[in-house]
A and B are shown apart, each in its own frame.
Chain A
Amino acid sequence: MRIILFILRKEFIQIFRNKQMLPIIFVMPILQLLILVNAATFEIKKVNVHLIDRDQSTYSALLREKFSASSNFNIVNSSFSEKAGIEDLSKNKAGMVVIIPKDFEKDLRNNIKTKIQFLMNAEDSYSSGISYSYGNSIVSSFSESILSQALQGSQQQTTPTIDIEYSHWYNQDLDYKKYMASGILVVLITMIATFLTSMNIVREKEIGTIEQLNVTPIKKIQFIIGKLIPFLIIGLFELAFGLVIAIIAFDITILGNIFLLFGLAFVYLLVMLGIGLWISTVTETQQQAMFIAWFIMVIFILMGGLFTPISSMPDWAQTVTIFNPVAQFIEIMRRVLLKGSGFKDVTTQFSLLVAYAIFTLSVSIFRYKKVSD
């Protein structure tokens, strides 16, 4: 026990003496949260629209007004030629071309079905889908408003329509920042646990200090505990620090129990520390450790549901994410943080994490002992 304490003391002296370490601990979370969360959102802010109005009527002017009044669209150009519209699309000057046909108003007044055409730039299928549905809702609100105008005029009875009313739960304003911030926090503590741990242990090999330690009575398990605990503490501190930034910058309210969140983070960190330790047993230099850690991280994070929802992945990929601790913890973070879930709601994720923690730690400790003998 005394030896572990002294190893810990030594580790903390070294960590805080490392010039790169303090920026990593304090600057990285601020940058990651502020830049990534603001930049990597799913919101489609403004789609540039090229409008082709062949009708030039009151109705077409009304529709045009609806588009320009919407916060989602920005009419950048208008013309009478489809060719000019497509050219704007191809030059990325416009993301969408809206074509109002000739006789638009006349047909509507005469109760003849008429069509509005959207030409979309679908390079990015995700945002074009969103712009399409935004456009759609503008057109339907337009048709509703002219319908009610017509009704007022004629007092005629029309068939009742079904109106869908919806409300978004758990993230009422559909604020992607809250959604992203909770995921970025996971990335943050994951990097601390995996990168820093593996590099720290490998450094002892690289510099040769392990040679000197090996002839001391320090037991391997004491060495490992002494190496892992500092990063466990830093990881938890990092989560707290990141949460404070998220609360200040993105107005996140922690709906769930904060102790539950940290308790689960503790288990999650054990998993990632185990992976970090394992990386250190298969590498000889910090560079190699960095490379392997990076490789593992990219897969874990991209398949972790941070950017693309797991539910929209193919079936096989959804099965694979069961084995992805990052995915489990992102899920836990979102549920506890945004949804206010209690322990009962995340028992599946919790038990998976416990299983991984036992697995990664025992495999890596076993391997560490074997390699260093």
Chain B
Amino acid sequence: MNAVTVNNISKSFGAIKAVNNLTFQVEQGDLFGFIGPDGGGKTTLIRMMNTLIIPDEGSATVNGLDTIKDYKKIRLQIGYMPGRFSLYQDLTVEENLNFFATVFGTTIKQNYDLIRDIYVQIEPFKDRRAGKLSGGMKQKLALCCALIHKPEVLFLDEPTTGVDAVSRKEFWEMLKRLKQKGITILVSTPYLDEASLCDKVALMQSGNILEINTPENIVKKFEKPLLAMKSKNMYKLITALRSYKFTNSAYPFGEYLHYTDTRETYSVEGIKNYLMQMGVTDAEIIPALPNIEDTFMQLMEKGND
């Protein structure tokens, strides 16, 4: 059974179409990612699936329940962690957790198993007010509160935005462990590098889904051979390539620059010669394997055309 199904769903805010006629399914037990830049419609889509806003058109189900008709039943079965920290800053860690456990008619003890891994990390601070926690701690507490009633489907809206690299990594490991416990997780993120950590991803831009697939299959869609280039003067290299008549795309990628060519066949020597002419003498060019970020950049380019 699908944990979530979405059929031709749309939502507009005034003249802006935030979500544009989307249809997809999320299988039970999947870790499903919505990836895309800010303003791509991720938050709106999540808020429609978790019954917070009503779609203009189309419908959605969670665990086979309709998000409009059965919203009360759905709310008992889902956990939600909004993008903005939304717990009571003037209540302590424990009071927050207790409060959310109680409103769901349960206790911390009853579902302690599920949150143990995460809660032990913040337990030393359980008498501290939530507002006084660090960003990473707040995020862990929010996750605990979203899990305290043992939800079957978990919605996380940009949980790693504004969190340091180490905490981000930790967070994704926590999500993997939750997935092993059978929880379906839908997570949105603006970080492309997090896509490969999901079972399935939907690449979103301007309210549309550009591609929906496993990260491996998305990478396979990359159509052109990819070259990675490096020079001591990266700025000169990128300006030289951007004015090259055969350049299809040239993006900086960490210490390298990823390049695709418009021609079917070409020689690396030809490009090197051109760069020499342009004054880049030390260019190191090696073939590279595309990753999901390359694919997304390519898809976005296409979407913009």
Contact = CB atoms under 8 A, between A and B. Distances in A.
A255 B173 CA distance: 71
Given A13-B95, A212-B87, A217 B76 contact: yes
Contact of B103 (A6, A18, A373): A6
B71 to A, nearest CB: 9
Contact of B102 (A3, A208, A211, A214): A3
A6 B99 contact: yes
A216 B90 contact: no
Contacts of B95: 10, 13
Interface in B28-66: 50-52, 54
Nearest to A208: B86
Contacts, number: 61
B90 A18 contact: yes
A117 to B, nearest CB: 67
Interface in B89-126: 89-91, 95, 99-100, 102-105
Nearest to A218: B103
Interface stretch (B77-85, B223-231, B271-279): B77-85
A98 to B, nearest CB: 64
Nearest to A215: B80
Interface residues of A, number: 22
B88 interface: yes
B72 interface: yes
Contact of B86 (A10, A212, A218): A212
A208 B47 CA distance: 14
A10 B99 contact: yes
Contact of A215 (B50, B84, B85, B90): B50
B145 interface: yes
B162 to A, nearest CB: 14
A208 B85 contact: yes
Contacts of B75: 215-217
Interface residues of B, number: 26
Contacts of B145: 212
Interface centre among A14, A18, A216, A218 (most CB of B within 10 A): A216
- Chain B interface SS verdict (over half): loop
A213 B104 CA distance: 11
A215 B99 contact: no
Interface in A184-238: 207-218
A17 interface: yes
A216 B86 contact: no
A14 B90 contact: yes
A348 B80 CA distance: 51
Given A209-B86, A211-B86, A216 B52 contact: no
Contacts of A212: 80, 82, 86-87, 100, 145
Contacts of A211: 52, 82, 84, 86
Contacts of B80: 212, 215
Interface string A309-344: 000000000000000000000000000000000000
Contact of B88 (A209, A215, A373): A209
Interface string A1-21: 011001100100110011000
A17 B105 CA distance: 25
Contacts of A373: 54
A93 to B, nearest CB: 55
A6 B101 CA distance: 10
A6 B90 contact: no
Given A207-B86, A208-B85, A208-B86, A216 B103 contact: yes
A217 B100 CA distance: 10
A212 B47 CA distance: 11
B102 A215 contact: no
Interface string B223-247: 0000000000000000000000000
Contact of A216 (B82, B87, B89, B100): B100
A210 to B, nearest CB: 8
17 contacts: A3-B103, A7-B103, A10-B88, A10-B99, A17-B91, A207-B89, A208-B86, A209-B86, A212-B80, A212-B82, A212-B86, A214-B52, A216-B75, A216-B100, A217-B72, A217-B104, A217-B105
Given A14-B90, A17-B91, A216-B100, 13 more contacts: A2-B105, A3-B103, A6-B103, A10-B91, A10-B99, A14-B88, A209-B88, A212-B80, A212-B82, A212-B87, A215-B51, A215-B52, A373-B54
Interface of A: 2-3, 6-7, 10, 13-14, 17-18, 207-218, 373
Q: Which 3 A-B pairs have the closest CB atoms?
A: A212-B86, A208-B86, A215-B80
